[in-house]
Structure 1
Amino acid sequence: MHNFQYQANAANVIFGSGTIHRLPSELKRLGLHSPLLLSTSQQVSQAEHIKAALKSQVAGIFAGAVMHTPVEVTGEAIKAARASGCDSLISIGGGSTIGLGKAISFRTGLYHLAIPTTYAGSEATPILGETEHGRKTTRSDSKILPGTIIYDVDLTMTLPASMSTVSGINAIAHAVDALQARNGNPIVSLMAQQGIKALVQSLPIIHQDPSNHDARSKALYGAWLCGMCLGSVGMSLHHKLCHTLGGSFNLPHAETHAIILPHALAYNAPEITGVMAILDALLPSDDGDAIQGFNQLLERLEIKRDLKSFGFQEGDIAKAADIACINPYWNPRQVEKPLIQELLRRAWAGEQAKADLQTSCPGGP
């Protein structure tokens, strides 16, 4: 076995069904009395539900969270937090809300308790992605990680099947990137494999039967494991492309991850044969190939495959490739701009992913 280093993330995790009822006792344990509740404008009802559970003993509600955590929104939220006199933050929702909670907590030192209602996985990582002047950047720091995470399967039961599936593929993307990370290790590899397995098994069930509680529980568990993976090792091409498309072109987070994942994996496939062997076993397909396994899973889940459906223009492909190739994340295969441009064209058009991108492709060097 090769040498490795592993550092566990130290959040207090409460997982199960009905666990939201443990929120008052958790705040009491922490000596906190006046949290500011965070949500998006579309999910303010969930914040109101938390307020009722805490018998209105909250500092207030800030319902301005949006995708990709713009720094100007964070600034507004910090002003609201200071004006409210809160002693902590409770974020309830998906990656947008939890990302905002992380941004505020990192800048103010306020304790952050996260309650995820999707499979985004942001709550389990010490990573903060923020957008400023049309660019999305990330930073990693142990202070970014929420102090407590409450996973309540019951809160995911009303998540629409279509959002559940793309959110789940987003979670899988975290684990796939972790498997090929330069600083990967056996512990993260085990978590990644278990997380992928749980989601690959549960998402088709949720697609057909969104009220299946066992499938919801397995998906939430898998999403937690995948988030733990992302928070433990580095990111590569997949996340760089998604950060580019989200931060610079405002494409929706989960949908973009779902579309890009098989294409980024296909790009790296020639250089990660060991990882591909692992994924081949986890993603059954007609020919036993993981890339086709992902193609077929997305088709089975009826997930849109083309970026153009979400407003990405063909004329922006070259610009996106330029941005993605500036300060690229470490990647197991050299990042070549002409090939990245072709990858993005395929994702724009909704073509199936194929591991045939070579330097001799049209437009290549």
Structure 2
Amino acid sequence: MEDVSPIRFDYHALPSRVLFGAGRRRETPEVARQLGCTLPLIVCTPEQQVLADAIASLFAGSSTHIFSEAAMHTPWDVTSRALMVAREVRADCLIAVGGGSAIGLAKALALRTGLPQIALPTTYAGSEVTPIIGETQDGEKRTRRTLDVLPEAVIYDVELTLTLPARLSATSGLNAIAHAVEALYSVDANPVTSIMAEQGIAALAAALPEILANPASHDARSHAQYGAWLCGTCLGSVGMALHHKVCHVLGGTFDLPHADTHAIMLAHVVAYQAGAAPHAMRRIARALGADDAWTGLQALAARLHVPQSLAEIRMPHEGIGRAAELVLQETYANPRTPDYQSIRAMLERAWRGTAPQPDPL
């Protein structure tokens, strides 16, 4: 009989409640009540003010307040203003309405106030089911993992995603896929998250092209949201690796759009990892129905018409060297040990939009 190593792994389920289904945003006041909340502070970006008003209208009287200045990468100056508002209105819980910007701000507030959170995501970013926060101060983005920022409840209402533009749906969905991709070669990967990761990639890869063709499709939107939940749960359950480090550096240092950066870098980083994580590459390729993981991801990105190069999103070429240096600081656990020259070469390819290339190890 073939010698088979015994299965050994750790899996930690995160303590949060998920409500999934069309129209379930209307249950927000009851969820808040169950958390003992009567004076919620709703946080959103300026673009989501109307939606925040609609959620506020579900509550009786004038018990809610809205802070609508959430911004990408959770800048500290925005967080400090929101903290002042939360204290002034004596908020007893936080409701994030929107994508990663709103959810990130709610997490930053929860970290400093201990207030419970309810998240109503409108994108596929997945941060609503993670104990991870990334904050930017003095031009540098830092992340940490703590249960203190994990939302107590998440309400997935497909109707909240119907107005997400097709292009943003595509980049947000690729951002979600990145969580699952890295979960498959994470240092603490386990059978549970690996199953979720492969299913999440497959669900999003099937749904996103349909959303591009028919943005009003409830079915495609629902499957994309399901895939995003699976991928986000992977992000929250195991550690991420090089791709997330690269994107945090690029986004925090050069103020690049978060989802676009993930969408552009994903195939390049996967190609970079290929020789060091062959089992993960096979599972990614299988989920995509492709011969290779990186070519499948690149083909999906091209099919979704997302930006193909860092130059398109105004990453300065002269910043490549600095980015490579920052990637090597406080590195994440990774199947391949990164070095300056190979990281710089990968970033150069991504800046120019040339094809991803697996490097010989």
Q: 1:224 corresponds to which letter in structure 2?
A: W
Deviation string, structure 1 residues 238-264 (Cα, Å, up to 9, x no partner): 000000001111000000000000000
Q: CA deviation at 1:55?
A: 3.8
Corresponding position of 1:151: 156
SS at 1:251's partner residue? coil
Matches of 1:29 and 1:70, distance apart in 2: 31
Corresponding position of 1:337: 340
> 2:7 matched to 1:6?
no
> 2:90 matched to 1:95?
no
Corresponding position of 1:196: 201
Matches of 1:224 and 1:327, distance apart in 2: 28
> 2:45 matched to 1:40?
yes
Instruction: Say what the alpha-carbon RMSD is for the aligned residues.
Output: 1.1
Give percent identity, aligned residues only. 47
> Equivalences for 1:183-262 in 2 at 5 Å?
183-262=188-267
> Gaps spanning 5+ residues in structure 2: where?
1-5
- Is the CA contact 2:35–2:116 (under 8 Å) kept in the aligned structure 1? no
Matches of 1:316 and 1:95, distance apart in 2: 25
Q: CA deviation at 1:28?
A: 2.0
Corresponding position of 1:363: none
Corresponding position of 1:127: 132
Q: CA deviation at 1:284?
A: 2.3
- Is the CA contact 1:120–1:168 (under 8 Å) kept in the aligned structure 2? yes
Which segment drifts farther, 51-60 or 82-91? 51-60
Corresponding position of 1:301: 304
Corresponding position of 1:268: 273
Corresponding position of 2:316: 313
Q: 1:334 corresponds to which letter in structure 2?
A: T
Matches of 1:45 and 1:58, distance apart in 2: 17
> Gaps spanning 5+ residues in structure 1: where?
360-365
Deviation string, structure 1 residues 176-202 (Cα, Å, up to 9, x no partner): 011100011001101111111110110
SS at 2:68's partner residue? strand
Corresponding position of 1:354: 357
Matches of 2:352 and 2:186, distance apart in 1: 28
Matches of 1:81 and 1:202, distance apart in 2: 38
Matches of 2:328 and 2:29, distance apart in 1: 47
Matches of 2:131 and 2:264, distance apart in 1: 25
Report the number of matched residues: 356
Q: 1:349 corresponds to which letter in structure 2?
A: R
Matches of 2:43 and 2:63, distance apart in 1: 11
Q: CA deviation at 1:358?
A: 4.2
- Is the CA contact 1:33–1:57 (under 8 Å) kept in the aligned structure 2? no
Q: 1:352 corresponds to which letter in structure 2?
A: A
- Is the CA contact 2:268–2:350 (under 8 Å) kept in the aligned structure 1? yes
Which segment drifts farther, 90-99 or 324-333? 324-333
Q: CA deviation at 1:106?
A: 1.2
Q: 2:120 corresponds to which letter in structure 1?
A: I
Matches of 2:295 and 2:123, distance apart in 1: 26
Matches of 1:347 and 1:43, distance apart in 2: 31
Q: CA deviation at 1:65?
A: 0.5
Q: TM-score, normalised by structure 1?
A: 0.96
- Is the CA contact 1:36–1:81 (under 8 Å) kept in the aligned structure 2? yes
- Is the CA contact 1:35–1:89 (under 8 Å) kept in the aligned structure 2? yes
Matches of 1:266 and 1:175, distance apart in 2: 15
Matches of 1:100 and 1:193, distance apart in 2: 30
Q: CA deviation at 1:283?
A: 1.4
Matches of 2:74 and 2:44, distance apart in 1: 12
Deviation string, structure 1 residues 259-284 (Cα, Å, up to 9, x no partner): 00000000000011111111121112
Deviation string, structure 1 residues 145-201 (Cα, Å, up to 9, x no partner): 000100100110111100001000000000001110001100110111111111011
Which segment drifts farther, 19-28 or 194-203? 19-28
